[in-house]
Amino acid sequence: MAKWCRRRGPCLLREDGKSKGKPFSTIQMWKASDRERQKHPSLAGAVPHGLRANAVIRLRGAGYSALKISDMVGISVVTVEHV
């Protein structure tokens, strides 16, 4: 976490194209998500929020602490405990 970016807004940066190095906008993120879902029919209807919730559930099942999960997925400990 010490190496995470310390600025407001998205910290996920584009890796290619003319926008390389710039942060993803919300619209760009949804478009990228849609492209990946089209490649994998089993993900039809999946949304990033639901995927993150599933990740939290799996990590809790694997025995990780709420504090560690919070750090891993970027949500509050209270939210991890609620999922």
pTM above 0.85, yes or no: no
- Per DSSP, the three-state class of 30 is helix
pLDDT score of 58 = 93
Residues 6+ apart with CB under 8 A from 64: 72
pLDDT digits (tens, 9 = 90+) for 56-75: 999 999 999 999 998 888 88
pLDDT digits (tens, 9 = 90+) for 5-59: 565 555 677 788 888 888 777 788 788 888 888 898 888 888 777 878 888 999 9
Q: What's the burial of 79, exposed, middle or buried (CB within 10 Å: 0-12/13-18/19+)?
A: middle
pLDDT score of 6 = 60
CA angle 65, 71, 77 (to 5 degrees): 60
